[in-house]
Structure 1
Amino acid sequence: MPHLTIVANIKANADKVDLVKSELLKLIDPTVAEPGCVQYDLHQDNDDPAHFLFYENWESRELWQMHSNSNHVKALAAATEDAIEELSIYEMTKVH
């Protein structure tokens, strides 16, 4: 069965880039230790530092949903409540 690929685009408010980046970085260690996490990479746009992207691969949708409901994801949401301008999450499957 192919992995579930998640692409999460996060756009920080211009005056909150450093805060958002530091909070996103806090997700990495606990997330890679979670069951089902195959890949969890954070990227920052070279031309627009307020744009972040997570590229993730999970063994199943159920395990990704457990991650989405984890305490560290909830802590991120609370810490960045007024700091994120836009968030879009795409669930994808590799076709080749």
Structure 2
Amino acid sequence: MKAKIAVFGTLRFPPENIKKLLPHLHKLVTETYANDGCIAYDVAEDPFDKGLIRFSELWPSRESLDMHLKAPHIAPWREQAIKYGLSERKFISYDISSDAVSV
């Protein structure tokens, strides 16, 4: 399946809350892969900026991304993110419909 949409983003939490947040983040990723039609959905804490969670996502269409944002597992994830101190959210999406070039 060819990716048409790429998403990059960050969420910031108090570093001391990351360990408690991880089970909820794991559920988000698992549910997204199982139900939302993503091609890739990668999440990791930045090793040089504790408390900063980085996301990179590939989607087959804008519609599939829009459906993901309305999926049943998103609202509970957002509630947990607030509970554990979400202080910053930045996401941007790109149309990457043209052929990818290796660099």
TM-score by length of structure 1 reads 0.85
| Count of aligned pairs between the two proteins | 96
Letter aligned with residue 94 of structure 2: M
Give me the CA root mean square deviation. Answer: 1.9
Could you say which structure has the higher strand fraction? 1
Kindly tell me: are residues 35 and 26 of structure 1, through their superposed partners in 2, closer, same or farther at Cα, counting changes over 3 Å?
Answer: closer
Does the Cα contact within 8 Å between 2:5 and 2:93 map onto a contact in 1?
yes
For the pair shown, the structure with the greater C-alpha radius of gyration is 2
Aligned-partner residue type, residue 39 of structure 1:
A
Partner Cα distance (2:23, 2:61) in 1: 28
Counterpart of 1:64 in structure 2 is 65
Match of 1:3 in 2: 4
Q: Percent identity?
A: 22
Gap regions ≥5 residues in structure 2: none
Question: Superposed, which structure 2 residues align to 1:16-35 within 5 Å?
Answer: 16-35=17-36
TM-score (norm. length: structure 2): 0.80
Match for residue 86 of structure 1 among 77, 80, 88: 88
Query: Is this contact kept in 2: 1:9–1:52, CA < 8 A?
Result: yes
CA drift at 1:18: 2.0
Partner Cα separation in structure 2 for residue 35 and residue 26 of structure 1: 13
Runs of 4+ more than 6 Å apart: none
